Amino acid sequence: MLPSVSVLLYSSDAGTRAQVRLAIGRGPTSDVPPVAFVECATLPAVLLALETSPIDACVLDGEAVPAGGAGVCRQLKNEVFRCPPVLLLIGRPQDAWLASWSHADAVITLPVDPAELAASLAVLLRAPQ
């Protein structure tokens, strides 16, 4: 059995976190190890998790409040040494410029399309760190 990979999942909305967990299931694809989620509902929890836990990738909700995922992503990319790759969930396709501004490694729109989410997360988890 493959060891698990750790994915930080940030959203202030428990429903969004549940959508992501359900879409990924045990893992995004058969060639990627099973996923262990580290769920965070606040920015301080995100920062603490990145400081204290080995994280292989992050999924950040751009619609989270009060700290949106795009701003959180930009902060992480600028402040966290060896920041893990980030998948940003955005509310509208027109917000793609925000993903670029935030330095996100991948972006998909909400509501989550399970196949698109799994494929995007698998690409990030396969990439060398």
Task: Check whether the bond before 66 is cis (ω within 30° of 0).
Answer: yes
Q: How far apart, in whole angstroms, are the C-alpha atoms of residue 61 and residue 16?
A: 8
pLDDT of residue 1: 52
pTM for the model: 0.95
Q: What is the mean pLDDT of residues 10-32?
A: 96
| Model confidence band, residue 39 (pLDDT cutoffs 50, 70, 90) | very high
Q: What is the mean pLDDT of residues 96-110?
A: 94
> What CATH number is given to the structural domain containing 122?
3.40.50.2300
Q: How many domains does the chain have?
A: 1
pLDDT of residue 129: 67
- Contact present, 90 and 110 (Cβ < 8 Å): yes
Domain residue limits at 45: 5-126
| Model confidence band, residue 15 (pLDDT cutoffs 50, 70, 90) | very high
- 37 backbone dihedrals φ, ψ, rounded to 5°: -85, 140
- Contact present, 99 and 90 (Cβ < 8 Å): yes
- Contact present, 129 and 84 (Cβ < 8 Å): yes
